[in-house]
Amino acid sequence: MDSKESMESREAKDSIKSQVEGLLGSRPRQARHLLAVLQDIQAAFRYLPKEALLMVSEKLEVSAARVFAVAGFYKALSFSPKAERLLTVCQGTACHLRGSEKLIQTLESRLGFKIGQSSTDGRLGLETVNCLGACALAPVATVDGAVHGHLTPEKALDLI
Partner 1 sequence: MDHTLPKVTGTIDGHEFEVCHGTTLLEAAKTLGIKIPTLCHHPGLPPDGNCRLCLVETGDKLLASCAFPIRASGGVYLTHSPLVFEARAFVLKLLLSRAPNNKELLKLAEEYGAQADPRLSDDPDGCLRCARCVRACQAAGSQAIALIGRGRGRKVAGPFFEPPLDCVGCLACARSCPTGLIACGEEPRVIWGRQFDLVKCPQCGRTVGTPEELKRAGITSWLCPDCRRREYSQALKNLPEASFVRN
The residues in 10-49 that bind partner 1, with binding defined as CB under 8 A, are none
Q: Figure out which of the listed residues 2, 3, 73, 158 binds partner 1, where binding follows CB under 8 A.
A: 73
Q: Figure out which of the listed residues 26, 31, 58, 72 binds partner 1, where binding follows CB under 8 A.
A: 72
Stretch touching partner 1 by CB under 8 A, among 17-25, 69-77, 82-90, 132-140: 69-77
Q: Figure out which of the listed residues 50, 114, 123, 150 binds partner 1, where binding follows CB under 8 A.
A: 50
3-state SS, residue 73 = helix
Q: Which is nearer to partner 1, 26 or 30 (CB)?
A: 30
CA distance linking residue 17 with residue 44, whole number of Å: 12
CA distance linking residue 79 with residue 147, whole number of Å: 25
Give the Cβ contact number of residue 142 at 10 Å. 19
Q: Residue 71 burial (CB < 10 Å; 0-12/13-18/19+)?
A: buried
Among 41, 43, 46, 76, CA closest to 57 = 41
The residues in 123-152 that bind partner 1, with binding defined as CB under 8 A, are none
Q: Figure out which of the listed residues 37, 41, 52, 53 binds partner 1, where binding follows CB under 8 A.
A: 53
Q: Figure out which of the listed residues 10, 32, 66, 150 binds partner 1, where binding follows CB under 8 A.
A: 66
Which residues of 66-114 form beta strands (DSSP E)?
85-90
Q: Figure out which of the listed residues 23, 24, 55, 67 binds partner 1, where binding follows CB under 8 A.
A: 67
3-state SS, residue 16 = helix
Residues at the interface with partner 1 (CB under 8 A): 50, 53, 57, 63-69, 72-73
